[in-house]
Structures are given as structure tokens and as C-alpha cells.
């Protein structure tokens, strides 16, 4: 089972990153994608991935929260990182109209610039969309024919938004959000709609600790070693065998990020 979303650069992992990776391996995780969310963290993610060959890879990008930082220099940094064998996708990039930490115009500009970079380099993209589906689709759509692949990470949208993403050919990343009995029920009902070859799973660690884990972890920090719980729950709600799903999501990730 492959975890496509791990924020291993987070300061929450500062004291035990190597142990976090070991626990993931011991839990049966077969690969991890370390998320880059700005220029500095993208560089850190690449170095962390480089230290775990054939188990960790990374993305290079600017999250919409950091879109106001976009510059020619940052674009050059991402381009240099993309030459590294560990860096397998451009992102996390997209739009976030929920927190609006960068202006909408800045977000759209940085998103479009990263899609252009991915198209130029023939790299898949790791996407973020929150409360911005219409503009997200409008910016992304023209680039899709020029991209080798794309995944919408941590999908939490509506049925209509899911159907639109699938129609655009996107893969869909599902996190432990779906395990939340307060806000994940609608998403849970949508799981069977995702084609088997387009489903990816992720922890988004250290965030989004699954609320239905029993016994509950003593810390609220999520870890990639909890991915098996998400796999088991998603398999149950999709009416599938968990072991077969674990193999399938590993295959899907390796195909999308061209690790095979």
C-alpha cells in the first residue's frame, strides 16, 4: 500500500522522522510520497526522499496558501528539483478559497504557472482544491491534454465535483477524512463511484488522524503507519477485499508517478 500524501517535512516530525518511516515500513506501507508545499519544503522533501531510496519520493510545488510567494526564482528552484530522480510530480498546487491565505488572483497565477511547468517537463501534478471547484476546473482544464497524469489530493468535495473530476480524467486521493463520523459521511457514500484504477489513498500525515481508530492513538498526530486502517475502512465501504485494495492502490500510485 502506497501513501501518496505525507508531510514529512512538518516540524511535528522533527524529533523522530526516521522512526516514522520505520513504523510505516513495519506496518506494511510499500512507498511514500513526501509533499512539497513551498520552495523550502520542496527542497527538504527531496532530500528526505533521497535518503530513503526506493521507498520515498517527493513532489515540488507551491501550495495555494503560499501563492503570494511565487516568483521567477521559485519557478527556477522547482525546475531544478524536478531534475532529481526522487521528484516525481509538480505540486502541491491548486486553489484554496476556504482560508484565502493568498489572493484568488495570486493563487490562479501560481497554479497556472505550475501546470505550465509540469506540461513542459512532462510530469504529473499533485493537486489541491478546496471550495474552489469551478475556478480550479477552469484553470486546469486547458492543461490536461498536455499532462501525463494528475491526482486531486485529499478530495472532500461533493458528488457533482467528484463526477466532474473523474470526467476530466483525474485520479482521486482519499484520506482519513472519510473516517470522520461528523464530516466524512457524504464522502464515504461516494467511494464506490471512484473507478478502481483511479483511487489513491493517503494519510496527509501529520494531519487528519482517522477519528474511528480503536484504540485511539495517544497523540493526535497522524502517521503513515496508520494507512492500513484507512485501507481497511475504504475497502469495507467499497465492498472490496482490503488486501486486494492495498495492492491496487500501490499499483495505481506507481503507474501515475511512473515508478514502474
Mean pLDDT of 186-210: 97
| pLDDT given at position 63 | 97
Say how far residue 149 (Cα) sits from the centre of its chain.
Answer: 13
Q: What is the pLDDT of residues 52-69, one digit of tens each?
A: 999 999 999 999 999 999
Mean pLDDT of 116-142: 98
Mean pLDDT of 3-24: 97
User: Which whole-number Å values give the CA distances from 10 to 190, 204, 207, 212, 247, in the listed order?
Assistant: 30, 11, 10, 24, 28
- Give the SS3 label for residue 134: helix
15/92 Cα distance (integer angstroms): 24
Is 128 assigned to a binding site?
A: yes
67/37 Cα distance (integer angstroms): 10
> Average pLDDT, whole number, for the chain?
97
Mean pLDDT of 161-165: 98
How many helices and strands in the chain, by DSSP H and E? 9, 8
- What percentage of the chain carries pLDDT values higher than 90? 98
Half-sphere exposure of 147 (CA within 13 A, CB side): 28
Which DSSP symbol is given to 187? H
**The CATH homologous superfamily of the domain defined by 2-257:** Metal-dependent hydrolases (3.20.20.140)
Q: Residues 6 or more apart from 51 whose CB is under 8 A from it?
A: none
**In contact, 90 and 112? CB cutoff 8 Å:** no
108/96 Cα distance (integer angstroms): 10
Mean pLDDT of 102-129: 98
Is 26 assigned to a binding site?
A: no
137/143 Cα distance (integer angstroms): 10
51/68 Cα distance (integer angstroms): 31
Domain ranges of the chain: 2-257
**In contact, 125 and 171? CB cutoff 8 Å:** no
pTM of the model: 0.96
Residue 241: pLDDT band (50, 70, 90) is very high
Residue 15: pLDDT band (50, 70, 90) is very high
Is 133 assigned to a binding site?
A: no
Decide the pairing of beta strands 2-6 and 199-201. Answer: unpaired
Is 134 assigned to a binding site?
A: no
Q: Is the confidence at residue 260, as pLDDT, over 90?
A: no
Q: Residues 6 or more apart from 100 whose CB is under 8 A from it?
A: none
Q: Is the confidence at residue 248, as pLDDT, over 90?
A: yes
Q: Cα angle vertex 240, ends 25, 127, to 5°?
A: 60
Amino acid at each position: 500500500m502506497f501513501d501518496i500524501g505525507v508531510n514529512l517535512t512538518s516540524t511535528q516530525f522533527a524529533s523522530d522522522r526516521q522512526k516514522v518511516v520505520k513504523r510505516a515500513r513495519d506496518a506494511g506501507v510499500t512507498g511514500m510520497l513526501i509533499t512539497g508545499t513551498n520552495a523550502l519544503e520542496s527542497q527538504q522533501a527531496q532530500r528526505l526522499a533521497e535518503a530513503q531510496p526506493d521507498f520515498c519520493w517527493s513532489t515540488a510545488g507551491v501550495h495555494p496558501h503560499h501563492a503570494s510567494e511565487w516568483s521567477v526564482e521559485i519557478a527556477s528552484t522547482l525546475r531544478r528539483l524536478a531534475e532529481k530522480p526522487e521528484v516525481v510530480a509538480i505540486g502541491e498546487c491548486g486553489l484554496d478559497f476556504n482560508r484565502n491565505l493568498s489572493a484568488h488572483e495570486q493563487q490562479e497565477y501560481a497554479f497556472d504557472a505550475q501546470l505550465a511547468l509540469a506540461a513542459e517537463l512532462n510530469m504529473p501534478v499533485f493537486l489541491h482544491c478546496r471550495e474552489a471547484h469551478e475556478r480550479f476546473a477552469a484553470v486546469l482544464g486547458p492543461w490536461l491534454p498536455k499532462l501525463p497524469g494528475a491526482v486531486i489530493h485529499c478530495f472532500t468535495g461533493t458528488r457533482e465535483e467528484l463526477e466532474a473530476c473523474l470526467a476530466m480524467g483525474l485520479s482521486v486521493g482519499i484520506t482519513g477524512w472519510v473516517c470522520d463520523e461528523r464530516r466524512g459521511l457524504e464522502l464515504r457514500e461516494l467511494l464506490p463511484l471512484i473507478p478502481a484504477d483511479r483511487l489513491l489513498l493517503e494519510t496527509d500525515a501529520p494531519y487528519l488522524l482517522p477519528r474511528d481508530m480503536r484504540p485511539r492513538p495517544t497523540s493526535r498526530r497522524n502517521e503513515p503507519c496508520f494507512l492500513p486502517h484507512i485501507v481497511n475502512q475504504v475497502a469495507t465501504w467499497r465492498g472490496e477485499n482490503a488486501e486486494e485494495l492495498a495492492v491496487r492502490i500501490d499499483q495505481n500510485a506507481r503507474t501515475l508517478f511512473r515508478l514502474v
